[in-house]
Amino acid sequence: MNCDGRQPIQDAFTPATNVGKLYKLTLKPERGKTSTNYVNLFNGLHIFICMMNLGEIVYLTKRRFGDEKKIEVVSRIYQLGLTVLSVTDSLVFQAAELKAKYALSYAGCFALACAVNHSATLVTGDPEFKTVAHLIEIAWIR
């Protein structure tokens, strides 16, 4: 849990170049350290991912790296103990409303809707989320 009581939610890292960051992310924390391991960053926290965003990770990984890497990445996701959130009818309509209002990818709208619904921090490196930073807390990665 973050210091403000919010739970983190994992974005799908929509740009294909960021797929490899799923299991090792580089961050710039406030105290001058320049990198940290993804698993250590979220150690002890409850992390969510929307099934829509998990599907995006699967197809992007397969497209870029093939089936073997896809299986490895999905396995690592489940090893991290993420809670996979179902895509309900109401979530689809909420994401559609967000898509109509903001310049976000459709998959990004699912991550945003889940973050809003769970009062969670959205963890992302995708600059498209700057337009909705007023709606939720965002933990920016690079």
Give dist(CA 68, CA 65) in Å, integer: 8
- Looking at the domain assignment, is residue 2 inside a domain? no
Residue 135 lies in a domain: yes
Task: Look at residue 1 and tell me if it is in a domain.
Answer: no
Residue 76 falls within a domain, yes or no?
yes
Q: Is residue 106 part of a domain?
A: yes
Would residue 124 count as lying in a domain? yes
For the stretch 121-133, pLDDT in tens is 888 889 999 999 9
Structure tokens at 133: 């930073």
Look at residue 111 in the predicted model and tell me its pLDDT. 92
Model confidence pLDDT, tens digit, residues 85-99: 999 999 999 999 999
Domain hosting 89: range is 7-140
What total number of domains does the chain contain? 1
Residue 93 belongs to some domain of the structure: yes
CATH number at residue 110: 3.40.50.1010
